[in-house]
Amino acid sequence: MKKYLLIFTIFLGASLLNAGPLDFGQTSREGAFVDQATAALQKRVKHYPGADKLYRELFYTPVWIGPKGPTGFAKTLLDRVEQDRTVPPVLGLRKDARKLRRELQDLYARPSSLEQKIDMELALSRLYLNYMHYLLYGGIDWKAFDAKRAELTKKYKIKVGWEYYRPKMTPASLLVEATMSGDLRSAFAKAEPKRFKYAKLKKALERYLEIADRGGWKPLPAFKAIKPGQSHPAIPLIRQHLRIEGDLPASASLDSDIYDETLQKAMRRYKLRHGLPGTPVIDAQTRRWLNTSVQYKIAMLRLNLDRIKWIWRQEAPVRIELNIPAFRLYVYEGQHLVDTMRVVTGKPDHPTPVFHNTMKYIVVNPYWKIPESIVRSEMLKHLVKDPYYYERRGKVLHAGWDEDSPRIDPGTINWSQYVGNNKTIPYRFMQVPGTRNALGKIKFLFPNKYSVYIHDTPSKKLFFRSTRAFSHGCMRIQKPRELLKVLALYNSNIDVEGIMEQLGTREKETISLLHEIPVDIVYLTAFVDDYGNLNFRKDIYHYDKYQMDHYAYNPKRKTPNTPAAQAKASQPAGK
């Protein structure tokens, strides 16, 4: 039954495209064509990599060609690919679409054999598979990146995490759904992510491609810092650049060499979009961004669009998103931003992992159970000289991880025996609750294999820095009490008033969330914010570089234009 419904839907589309309402008097002729085409496809499809699975799902029913003309699906496919400016030129898909359109017109302009029609059917399927592979998966070589992460894990002696999630739909399943509904456009819509403002970021890519077509912007000469009110020969070039990227109004002068108030306002906007300090001075950091080419920004946009394709796609009524390069946490209810705050993330040699999880607990007045890696790297040198160095600072020694486990006198331990080797330290340091505790007064837990979490901190000054990569991997937040209040909106068992009183004590309490909250920790160096502004950020962990080195859409790295080759290049095994 499903097969005949597919046939009816596809050829109804062909009829509407070519000859008005379907003529049921020609059913036997249409049926004969489908039977012949199906038999031919079963024989020929094995010569087209990636197409066999597609046609098995379609019962080997032709999708793009009919006895008298192409189907509506063929026109929709060709229109979509030709009009999508974001398709990487290295794939050559837009060129392929234009060529196939001409060949399709020629095919039906004169008598043609079934074999010729089947060749066209398979060529269009190859175009569909390549284009859908681009929409669904992008061009990041996850196998190569996994190998790099393994190298970094060995180098830093900590687990460098980046978890990615294969989209549940496939090109084949989307095409089957589209044939059942009679609308191929629905397949394209479902293939593209709905989260992290993907559509707006794709629009930004289109705009930067247009900027590149017009020549981009000119590089700046070397100069020292330019302060407000000063004149400088580089100012007209800076004005032109900010006009091109949309930060300087069209009414502003492009010729003046004075760093006036209008340019200062535009520069503040530009610096905000690039995560730079809010000072009006045009310094070395600002100059580096201004000298970043439009081609490189296009590469950043493509790369981050492809990262979004592998982020957890399932929607949730309430969710937390944390973008590492932006050093910021966001709480959303649907599409509404409920709250946002600054974050301190892991240092480059202790990178915060990228993954999806679910927040389940809040801990008030937490203990900090210090990892052995920190004891070895930072504490042993002090313990060898003074065993009580950390006890005086509220970090006590226990026989195990349990807070009620026996206390150990650090003066009875020969700490030098653990220096310069991998000998296991059988004792556990904990910092008791209090204002000096490294976790602050509140901890937000989403149990994970990296042992990282979101927490308060006594080191508030770091939040005023523009680059905030200072932790050992956990995420310190600027407003933990505000996050607690937001979570209380969705969890009636959180007594905010009672907890605020409890924070004045050292009494620990663990609260289980009645409504657990999904958490996405991501690494996006190009993104659109909640005000619609395009943002770029410094690649603090060098992940852009590592992924671009093996990026399938890098013009310097020609990737064969076949579904099999594309799949091999960018899809991880077993994910």
Count: domains in the chain: 3
Q: What's residue 561's pLDDT?
A: 42
pLDDT of residue 208: 98
**Catalytic residue (one of 474, 515, 542, 550):** 474
567: left (phi over 0), alpha (psi -120 to 50) or beta: alpha
Does 484 lie in the same domain as 398? no
Q: Is the pLDDT of residue 34 over 90?
A: no
Task: Round to whole Å and give the CA distance between 247 and 241.
Answer: 9
Radius of gyration of the chain (CA): 29
Distance (Å) of CA 428 to CA 85, 228, 368, 395, 408 = 57, 54, 11, 10, 9
Same domain, 127 and 66: yes
Asked if residue 103 and residue 38 are part of one domain, the reply reads yes
Residue 30: pLDDT band (50, 70, 90) is low
Please report which confidence band the pLDDT of residue 568 belongs to, taking 50, 70 and 90 as the band edges: low
Please give the pLDDT value at position 1.
47
Which CATH number fits the domain that encloses residue 351?
2.40.440.10
Reply yes or no on whether 133 is catalytic. no
State the chain's mean pLDDT as an integer: 91
The answer on 353 and 491 residing in a single domain is yes
Q: What is the mean pLDDT of residues 264-278?
A: 97
Residues 344 and 465 in one domain: yes
How confident is the model over 405-413, as a mean pLDDT?
95
Within a domain: 49: yes
- The mean pLDDT value for 166-191 works out to 96
**Structural domain includes residue 542:** no
User: What is the mean pLDDT of the segment spanning 399-414?
Assistant: 94
Residue 460 clears pLDDT 60, i.e. is over it: yes
Q: What is the pTM of this model?
A: 0.91
Q: Which among 401, 424, 447 is the end of a domain?
A: 424
pLDDT tens for each residue of 527-566:
999 999 999 999 999 999 999 999 998 866 544 444 445 4
The predicted structure's pLDDT at residue 461:
96
User: How far is it, in rounded angstroms, from Cα 256 to Cα 47?
Assistant: 64
* 3 state SS for 282-319: ECHHHHHHHCCCHHHHHHHHHHHHHHHHCCCCCCCCEE
% of the chain at pLDDT higher than 90: 85
> In the predicted model, is pLDDT for residue 571 greater than 70?
no
In whole angstroms, how far apart are CA 511 and each of 144, 357, 444, 491, 516? 41, 18, 10, 10, 11
- Residue 97's pLDDT band (boundaries 50, 70, 90)? very high
Neighbours of 247 (CB within 10 A): 21
Q: From residue 14, how far is each of 64, 93, 346 by CA, in Å?
A: 9, 24, 56
Residue 14 in this model has a pLDDT that exceeds 60? no
Element (H, E) at 265: helix 261-273
**Which residues span the domain enclosing 396?**
374-424
Residue 442 has pLDDT above 70, yes or no: yes
Q: What is the DSSP string of 440-494?
A: TTEEEE---TT---EE--S-GGGGGSS--EEESS-EEES-HHHHHHHHHTT-TT-
Which of 455, 472, 515, 542 is catalytic? The answer is: 455
Q: How confident is the model at residue 22 (pLDDT cuts 50, 70, 90)?
A: very low
16-51 exposure pattern, b = at least 16 Cβ within 10 A, e = fewer:
ebeeeebeeeeeeebeebbeebbebbeebbeebebb
Asked if residue 516 and residue 408 are part of one domain, the reply reads no
Q: φ, ψ for residue 126 (rounded to 5)?
A: -65, -40
* Residue 542 is among the residues annotated as catalytic for this protein: no
Tens-digit pLDDT profile for residues 40-96: 999 888 887 788 899 999 999 999 999 999 999 999 999 999 999 999 999 999 999
- Give CA–CA dist 415/428, Å, rounded: 13
128 and 178 inside one domain = yes
